[in-house]
Amino acid sequence: MTDMLWSFAPWGVFLTVVRFGGVYWGASAAAIVAIVVLTRALSLKKAHLFDYVGAAYFIGLLSLLAALHPSDIGTWGRYAQAVAHGSLCVIVFASVLFNHPFTEPYARAQAPKEIWNSPAFHALNRKISIVWGFAFLLGTLSMVLAGSTDSRQFLLRVVVPFGALGGAYAYSHREGEAAAEAHHAAAAPSA
């Protein structure tokens, strides 16, 4: 789970900094963090989808902002968090659709190698990835609503999206622990 937290760090930095410092500061801070995260992952030979996507997304966003110099930066700032969250939602659901749930590489770091190709391992990761996808979807909808109103910003930009992600993380951890206990219980009689 530590690698997953690293992978999501640029997104968390962006979601936080863009709210208080604007979209340029958010994209800049997230790009720096994404480069650090990707460099770390590559040096450990454990780079995951979101390590690459984070670096490409935030460097691309920063480049786009520099090239366009949008005159209505306030609108960009109001919806930047929703677009970032929505991008993650699409990527997570696409990973499930293409039968490569984004959680599998993270799960392999903790699961015994003999179960990596089992149908149960794949099914569990599909289920966990879908839960993450719905957490991102809920957060995206909440942030779109936050962009269209001036009220309840803390609830819509922090409590709902981060609460949903916290719930997905807790669910992942709980399901992973239950699967590990089941595997150990099944392996114990044969030992």
| 83 vs 65: CA distance, rounded Å | 14
Domain count, the chain: 1
- Sign (positive or negative) of CA dihedral 124, 128, 130, 131: positive
Q: Please write the tens of the pLDDT for every residue from 108-134.
A: 988 889 999 999 999 999 999 999 999
| 59 vs 53: CA distance, rounded Å | 10
Range of the domain at 132: 2-187
| Residues 83 and 89 sit within 8 Å (Cβ to Cβ) | no
pLDDT computed for residue 19 by the predictor: 81
Candidates 57, 33, 37; CA nearest to 47 is: 37
| 24 vs 33: CA distance, rounded Å | 14
Residue 99 Ramachandran class (φ > 0 left, ψ -120 to 50 alpha, else beta): left
- Sign (positive or negative) of CA dihedral 59, 70, 87, 163: positive
| Residues 99 and 88 sit within 8 Å (Cβ to Cβ) | no
* Average pLDDT for 124-145: 97
- Token pair 């691309």 is at which residue? 60
Q: Please write the tens of the pLDDT for every residue from 9-39.
A: 999 999 889 888 889 999 999 999 999 999 9
